[in-house]
């Protein structure tokens, strides 16, 4: 898939991301697909909408993930009859795969109003920015100041620089082919806690424009500890026990393989291990099985 990627310095949003609890059900759970703003059927009379400017199709662009928040901005645009008719400004989390920013905001977990003092929730402000783009038909119509904010759109106080720049990059790159999966966040987990290490395996996956864009292979113990973080904090002790790397370092390579192969699993042996991923000696078979289960709702 042809993707436009732009390296941005994302403006720091006032909202803070509240942590999402673990789903305790074994069945796959999917979030709703990202919302999008659609152009009204009637012509608004704006001169910009009178002239076809773009090739019909779907346009997709992303920005570099924000180092502080873990959100990676993406923009999806639909062009019909030469005009932008749908716009989706959103973000997926590279640290908490399965989270999509609009859904987190809609669920009241982003806290832009309650915790950040915003005039409206993030998804509500994003919808106004999307509608403005559809009306003007040009991202450049959204003037941005040095802080990445705009006075051009009433009711929008959040930073919009990433929206503008990513939309411009998507349009410049041209239409792309969507992948075979249904957009959203998906989850699956093991049936029980492991008798040896005390963790129950968990998998979370984000799908955008039909493709896997983020994955988290982890686990949770009875105390609620996240396995990846537990390992990163030096508590899992794989290297101390003679391993060549820590558990979170090896599982990250399995996640990357899963993303790069759009949900495909490598060949594993009877012990759940694989020679297909360099530097991975741990059992990864269960994670790929759970990931397949999670994505059943995306097919």
- Whether 139 is in a domain gets the answer yes
Q: What is the rounded distance in angstroms from the CA atom of residue 71 to the CA atom of residue 165?
A: 16
Q: Within this chain, do residues 125 and 151 fall inside the same structural domain, yes or no?
A: yes
DSSP 235-289: -S-TTTTT-SS-HHHHHHHHHHHHHHTTTPPPP--TTS--SSSTT--S--HHHHH
Q: Within this chain, do residues 27 and 169 fall inside the same structural domain, yes or no?
A: yes
Which residues sit opposite 4 in a β-bridge? 61
Domain of 256?
A: 184-298
- Of 173, 197, 219, the one marking the end of a domain is 173
pLDDT reported for residue 39:
64
pLDDT reported for residue 41:
52
Contact residues for 196 (Cβ-Cβ < 8 A; gap 6+): none
Q: Within this chain, do residues 220 and 196 fall inside the same structural domain, yes or no?
A: yes
pLDDT reported for residue 38:
72
pLDDT reported for residue 79:
98
pTM: 0.81
* Residue 229 vs residues 2, 22, 95, 218, 288: alpha-carbon distances, Å: 33, 14, 11, 9, 20
Q: In CATH, what number is assigned to the domain containing residue 253?
A: 3.90.1010.20
- Whether 6 is in a domain gets the answer no
Q: With beta carbons less than 8 A apart as the criterion, state whether 281 and 250 touch.
A: yes
- Of 173, 202, 217, the one marking the end of a domain is 173
Q: Within this chain, do residues 43 and 140 fall inside the same structural domain, yes or no?
A: yes
Residue-wise pLDDT for 239-295, tens only, equals 998 888 999 999 999 999 999 999 999 999 999 999 999 999 999 999 999 999 999
């Amino acid at each position: 898939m042809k993707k436009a990627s732009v390296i941005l310095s994302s403006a720091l949003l006032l909202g803070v991301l509240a942590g999402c609890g673990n789903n305790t059900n074994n069945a796959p759970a999917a979030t709703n697909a990202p919302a999008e703003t659609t152009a009204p059927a009637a012509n608004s009379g704006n001169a910009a909408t009178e002239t076809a400017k773009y090739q019909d199709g779907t346009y997709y662009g992303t920005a570099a993930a924000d180092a502080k928040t873990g959100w990676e901005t993406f923009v999806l645009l639909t062009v019909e009859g030469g005009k932008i008719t749908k716009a989706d400004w959103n973000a997926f989390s590279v640290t908490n795969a399965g989270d999509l920013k609009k859904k987190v905001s809609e669920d009241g977990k982003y806290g832009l109003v309650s915790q950040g003092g915003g005039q409206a929730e993030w998804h509500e402000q994003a919808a106004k920015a999307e509608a403005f783009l559809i009306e003007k038909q040009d991202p450049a119509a959204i003037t941005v100041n040095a802080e990445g904010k705009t006075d051009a759109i009433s009711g929008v106080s959040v930073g919009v620089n990433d929206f503008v720049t990513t939309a411009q990059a998507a349009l410049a790159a041209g239409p792309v082919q969507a992948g075979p999966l249904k957009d959203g966040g998906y989850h699956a987990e093991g049936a029980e806690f492991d008798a040896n290490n005390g963790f129950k395996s968990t998998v979370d996956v984000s799908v955008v424009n039909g493709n896997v864009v983020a994955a988290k292979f982890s686990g949770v113990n009875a105390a609620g500890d996240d396995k990846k973080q537990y390992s990163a904090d030096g508590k899992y002790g794989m290297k101390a026990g003679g391993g060549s790397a820590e558990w979170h370092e090896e599982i990250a390579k399995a996640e990357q393989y899963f993303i790069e192969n759009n949900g495909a699993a490598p060949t594993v042996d009877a012990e759940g291990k694989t020679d297909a991923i360099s530097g991975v000696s741990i059992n990864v078979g269960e994670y790929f099985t759970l990931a397949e289960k999670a994505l059943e709702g995306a097919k």
